Amino acid sequence: MPLPEYGRNLQNMVDHIMTIEDRDERNRAARTIVDIMGNMYPYLRDINDFKHKLWDHLAIMSDFQLDIDYPYEPPRRETFNEPPARIPYSTGRIKKRHYGKILEELIDKASVYDAGDEKENLIKLIANHMKKSYLSWNKDAVDDEKIYEDLEILSKGTIKRSDLGLTETKELLHTKPRKKQSTQSNRGQKKHRR
């Protein structure tokens, strides 16, 4: 079955309408099958081009051989045989992997900002994010001086700071405590089991 999510009965209906010789009757049966397909997954009706997808599925289920008047351009078999286009991956080397490529790009953008409050706020946000990233790899602690050092290295010396007032490590590592289940309800369950 090309699309097993619709089931064997619907596939049998599609196979049957391929044997109908009268074109008008075949068109009417195809519309009925598309309505049934739509009723099987009513929560998908909010998706754009829902009907278009259903007609495409009908063409796929008929192995692209159903001769009817499609309300949309039917898909071609060749489009499903083409391999997907290659994704151009970045081959650039990341200097400090624990910070990631995007953070390096943010630092490059921040280094060309005009001096002012906006640049200072951006640098502080980046430095705090660097500290969070560093702590995700090294749970012990991180010295703010290490972050300032790495910030200078990643900015190629254009950003030199030592007094940003970064967020405390304990605040970055702080997680919400889980609620403990009541031991009374557990004891009651144990009594019932006996």
pLDDT tens track of the chain, all 194 residues?
889 999 999 999 999 999 999 999 999 999 999 999 999 988 888 788 888 999 999 999 999 999 999 998 888 888 888 888 888 877 778 788 888 888 888 888 888 888 888 888 888 899 888 888 888 887 777 888 888 898 888 888 888 887 888 878 777 766 655 666 555 555 555 555 55
Query: What tokens were used for 65?
Result: 């051989």
Give residue 39's region: left, alpha or beta (phi > 0; psi -120 to 50).
Answer: alpha
> What is the rounded CA–CA span in Å between residue 63 and residue 53?
15
H-helix or E-strand spanning residue 122 = helix 117-137
The single-letter code of the amino acid at 19 is T
Residues 6+ apart with CB under 8 A from 63: 2
Nearest to 162, CA basis, from 172, 150, 154, 171: 150
pLDDT at 135: 85
> What is the rounded CA–CA span in Å between residue 151 and residue 160?
7
pLDDT at 56: 92
> What is the rounded CA–CA span in Å between residue 10 and residue 55?
14
Other C-beta atoms lying within 10 Å of the C-beta of residue 91 = 5
> What is the rounded CA–CA span in Å between residue 85 and residue 101?
23
> Tokens 């796929």 correspond to what residue?
60
